[in-house]
């Protein structure tokens, strides 16, 4: 057990050492010499943009994917963004993530995977909830304009607790802006395996409007099945094995 923990600590230090300040990120979106090695900083700087050189794109896929696996539980590392980034770079890791869904141990993260991996699945799972919530708010929408409507209605606090609504808000903010980076925030709270695992996400405007604090959702009565605990354990085991 101690060995495993030590390995994990080493990995973290290693990852920290790999991150170095560089201004060469523009190289990634242009064409560069074959000796160039992408660094995680350079890759992070071009999130949301297509990397023209496929070799660098694949390097970034790997660096980014490894970094997310190390830091997924930390503030500022969002599953929504990670999947979006891997998708933009056409990463083999994206297909793997969609198949494995290793962070899919909450309803929120399941819907995040649905949206990133299979839009049809997301819409069939979530649009009924979105339409119902909007209808409760007195707004009539169509398949086309629900994103706009969702961003322009004052949502009730209880509506915000639906994972489908949280992911739909991400979808809406992504559609409304060139890039959602910085406009959507997730919070992950890891307690002991027998307690609650909280993973939620909101767009910036909603967070401000409702003064949302992470502890709010600790009070909601969600079922805690042994399967949830099992999946959380797998995710942590996966993290430790690296």
Ligand X SMILES: *[C@@H]1O[C@H](CO)[C@@H](O)[C@H](O)[C@H]1NC(C)=O
Q: Name the site residues for ligand X (rule: CB under 6 A).
A: 30-31, 118, 120-121, 124, 140
For ligand X, give the closer residue by CB, 95 or 238. Answer: 95
**CA-to-CA dists, residue 189 to 63, 167, 194, 200, 212, angstroms:** 25, 18, 13, 9, 15
For ligand X, give the closer residue by CB, 30 or 76. Answer: 30
Find out whether 51 and 27 touch, Cβ atoms under 8 Å: no
Count the residues in the chain.
242
Alpha-carbon distance of 211 to 209, in angstroms, equals: 6
For ligand X, give the closer residue by CB, 120 or 223. Answer: 120
Q: How far is the CB of 219 from ligand X (least distance, A)?
A: 33
For ligand X, give the closer residue by CB, 31 or 220. Answer: 31
Cβ contacts of 59 within 8 Å, gap of 6 or more: 37, 38, 43
Alpha-carbon distance of 27 to 146, in angstroms, equals: 39
* Beta-bridge mates of residue 39: none
For ligand X, give the closer residue by CB, 30 or 182. Answer: 30
For ligand X, give the closer residue by CB, 33 or 226. Answer: 33
Q: How far is the CB of 139 from ligand X (least distance, A)?
A: 8
> What is the maximum span of the chain, computed from C-alpha positions, in angstroms?
59
Q: How far is the CB of 228 from ligand X (least distance, A)?
A: 22
Find out whether 71 and 102 touch, Cβ atoms under 8 Å: no
Alpha-carbon distance of 144 to 36, in angstroms, equals: 44
For ligand X, give the closer residue by CB, 98 or 229. Answer: 98
Tell which residue, 208, 120, 200, 194, has the closest CA to residue 160: 200
- Report the sign of the C-alpha dihedral through residues 136, 121, 145, 200, in that order: positive
């Amino acid at each position: 057990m101690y060995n495993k923990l030590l390995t994990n600590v080493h990995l973290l230090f290693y990852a920290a050492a790999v991150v170095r300040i560089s201004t060469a990120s523009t190289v990634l979106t242009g064409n560069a010499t074959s000796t160039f090695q992408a660094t995680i900083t350079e890759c992070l700087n071009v999130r949301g943009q297509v990397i023209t050189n496929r070799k660098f794109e694949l390097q970034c896929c790997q660096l980014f994917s490894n970094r997310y696996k190390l830091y997924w539980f930390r503030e500022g590392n969002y599953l929504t963004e990670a999947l979006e980034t891997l998708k933009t770079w056409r990463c083999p890791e994206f297909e793997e993530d969609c198949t494995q869904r290793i962070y899919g141990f909450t309803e929120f993260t399941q819907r995040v995977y649905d949206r990133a991996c299979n839009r049809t699945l997301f819409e069939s799972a979530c649009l009924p909830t979105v339409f119902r919530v909007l209808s409760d708010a007195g707004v009539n929408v169509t398949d086309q304009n629900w994103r706009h409507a969702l961003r322009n209605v004052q949502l009730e606090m209880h509506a915000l607790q639906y994972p489908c609504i949280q992911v739909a808000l991400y979808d809406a903010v992504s559609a409304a802006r060139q890039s959602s980076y910085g406009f959507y925030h997730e919070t992950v709270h890891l307690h002991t395996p027998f307690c609650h695992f909280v993973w939620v996400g909101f767009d910036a405007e909603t967070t401000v409007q409702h003064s949302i604090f992470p502890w709010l959702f600790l009070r909601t009565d969600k079922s805690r099945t042994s399967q949830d605990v099992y999946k959380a354990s797998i995710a942590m085991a996966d993290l430790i094995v690296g």
